[in-house]
Structure 1
C-alpha cells in the first residue's frame, strides 16, 4: 500500500472493503509474507487518507477470516498467504482403520471445496513421521496430526515444533509436552470408565469382565488403567487378555474387545457354540462402525464420535478458531450385552 490513489472515492465498493482487497492483493503478490508485520492501522489510515475506523474495520475482518493475526501491543501480522485459493491440508495418520476413514470422510465433507486434503501414514514409526514432516514443511497450510507411536512415551515435541504452531492441529491424543497446542482429544482412562458406567446395568449380569487388549498393536495403555479402575470401583471380577484364545471364551462372562479382528474371532466361536450374545455371553466392542449395528442383531459399542471429531477439526481450520476440546465418547446399547 504505497499510494493513496489506490483507493477509489467514487467507487460503489465500501472503502473498508477496498482496504481489505488491497491487503489481500499485497499478500498474494508477495509484498507481505507469512509472519510479517503489516503497517499499523494509524500508518495505513494516514497513507490512504482514510479514517482510522475504516481501516480498523478492514483489519478486523481480515483477522476474523484468519488472514491476519493480532499481537497485543505489536500490531497485525500475516497469518495466511493462501488467500483467494484453496487451503492445502495434510492429515497425518498412524494407520488406516475404519475410525480414520470415518474421520477423514467427515473432515473432507466439512472443508468442501475450500481445501484440498492429502493423507500420510507413518505406521507408528517416529522416524517415518519425521520424514513426512521434513519433506512437506512448506507444502501445506495446515497439518492435522494423530500422534500414536510404538513407544507411547516417545518425545515428539522437537519434531512437531519444526512446523509453525499456527499451522498445527492435534487430534485424538492430548500430549503434555504440547499442552498449549490446539487439540481435539480423548481421555482414554476416563472415557472407558464413563462409557462402562452407562452399561452398568447390563454388565452386572456377568460373572467376570474381560478386556481383550492386543499386545501386538499400539493402543493406549490408559484404556487398561481406566478398565481396572472401573472394576475396582464397582467390585467386578475382571482380567486383561493380551490375545483371545478359545479356552478364554467362557459362558456368562462379558468381553470388551479393542480390536475388530478379536471381535470377529469371538463371534465365530459364539456361533459355533450356539450361544446367544446378550444372554450366554456379553460382547462390547471398541469404536463404532456401521457394520456393528448389523452383526449378531447388533453389537454394543463404546466409542468416540469419529464424524464429530473430523467436523470439529475442519471447522477450527476454516474459522481459524483453534482451541483445546475433548471429543465426545459414548456407549451405544444393542443386543450383544
Structure 2
C-alpha cells in the first residue's frame, strides 16, 4: 500500500508533526484506506520519508496504542488493532461579535452538537490583530474550526496554518477562501429577492431610503437595493446615518443598525406617523424583540437557527459543501 495514501505531513503548518501523524492514520481509517489488521508504515520509513525524529513518531504511535487503534508485534511492526474511532470532537468557533441573532446561531449550533462535541467560542470584534492571534493560538488544539472572517479579506495565509479539511467558513463567501466549505449569505441577492417578495407592500411608498453605516457591513446590500429600485422605478437614497435626515410620509426606511431602528421608531412616534400605513420601517436580522417592538417590525433576515444546524451537520459529517443560507422578508405591521 503506497505510504502517501496513509501519511501526510505538511511542513508549512504549525500543527505539531505528531498530531499530523495521528490525524493521518485516523483519517486513513475513516476513508477505509486502512482496515483492521493492516500494517502501517514503519517508524524508520516515516522518519526517513518525512524527516521526523524517532521520538516524534513514537509519541504518536504510543497515543494511538493507548486509544486501542494500533498494536505492535515484536520484530514485525505496527498494525491496525481497531477501526472503532471515537475521537473527542472539540470545535473552535470564532465569531465577529456577540448580538441577539448571533446568540440564536450559537444556541442552534450548541444544541445540534450537544453530546457529540465540546465547543469553545471566541470573538474578534472586527480587530484584525485579535483575529490573527486567536487563530494562531488555536492551532492543533481542536478537531474542527468554524471561522467568521466578516469584513476581513486575504486571510488565507492565516487559515492555512489550520488543517484544511477541518475548517468551515461562516456568513460570507470569500474569494481567497473558496477551497473551504462554507455556509454563507448572498447579501446582494438576498436583499434584492426580499424587496421583490415585499414589492406589493412597498409600492405605495414614494421614496425608499437605505441606511447603511458601511464599515463592517457588507457592501453588497447596496448593490441589491439599487438594482431593485432602478428596475422598478423607485426614488431612492442610500445614506450612512440618520444624521440630518427628516423623514416624511410615504417613505420607507431600511435599517441595518438596531440603534437606528430605535431612533426611527421614536421619530415616527414623535411625528405621529403610523407605522405600516403612510410610513414604513424594515430592519435587518430578525430577533424575538422585533416581533413586539412598535407592534411588530418587518425584517429581512436569514434563518440563524437553520445556519447553526447546517454548520453542526457539516462538522459531524465532514461535509465539504458550500451552502447558501437564504434570507427572506418577515412581514409585520411596520411595512
Q: Give the TM interval when normalised to the shorter protein.
A: 0.7 to 0.9
Which stretch of the first structure deviates more once superposed, 279-288 or 313-322? 313-322
- Structure 1 contact 246–269 (Cα < 8 Å) conserved: no
Q: Secondary structure, in 3 states, of the residue corresponding to 1:114?
A: coil
CA contact (8 A) 2:181 2:319 kept: no
Cα separation, partners in 2 of 1:253 and 1:170, compared to 1, 3 Å: same
2:140 equivalent among 116, 138, 145: 138
- Seen in structure 2, the aligned counterparts of structure 1 residues 246 and 42 have a Cα distance that, compared at 3 Å, is closer
Tell me how far apart the structure 1 counterparts of residues 225 and 305 of structure 2 sit (CA, whole Å): 25
Q: CA, structure 1 residues 104+46, in 2 after alignment: closer, same or farther (shift >3 Å)?
A: closer
Once the 2 structures are TM-superposed, how far is the Cα of residue 86 of structure 1 from its aligned partner?
A: 3.4
TM-score by length of 1: 0.76
Q: Contact 1:173/1:186 (CA < 8 Å) preserved in 2?
A: yes
1:198 matched to 2:197? The reply is: yes
The residue aligned with 1:166 is 165
Asked if 1 retains the 8 angstrom alpha-carbon contact of 2:186 and 2:326, the reply is no
How does 1:1-80 map onto structure 2 within 5 Å?
33-36=22-25
Q: Shift of the alpha carbon at 1:271?
A: 1.1
> Closer, same or farther in 2 for the Cα pair 1:252/1:246, shift >3 Å?
farther
Query: Cα 1:320–1:267, aligned 2, differ >3 Å: closer, same or farther?
Result: same
CA shift for structure 1 position 321: 2.2
> Are the equivalent residues in 2 in contact too, given 1:96–1:121 (CA < 8 A)?
yes
Structure 1 residues 260 and 83: alpha-carbon distance in aligned structure 2, compared to 1, 3 A threshold: farther
Unaligned runs of 5+ in 1: 1-29, 48-66, 68-77
Please list the CA deviations of residues 61-91 of structure 1 after superposition, one character each: whole Å capped at 9, or x if unmatched. Answer: xxxxxx9xxxxxxxxxx9xx99435311111
Give the whole-Å Cα distance in 1 for the aligned partners of 2:197 and 2:163.
41
**d(CA) in 2 for partners of 1:301 and 1:318?**
32
Aligned partners of 1:86 and 1:113 also within 8 Å: no
CA RMSD after TM alignment: 2.6
| Conservation of the 8 A alpha-carbon contact between 2:28 and 2:34 | no
How far off is 1:245 after superposition?
Answer: 3.0
Going from structure 1 to structure 2, the CA distance change for 1:200 and 1:114 (only over 3 Å counts) comes to same
User: 1:232 pairs with 230, 235, 245, which one?
Assistant: 230
Shift of 1:253: 0.1
Q: Which residue of 2 aligns with 1:129?
A: 131
Gaps of 5+ in 2: 1-18, 40-68, 70-79
Cα displacement (A) at 1:123:
1.2
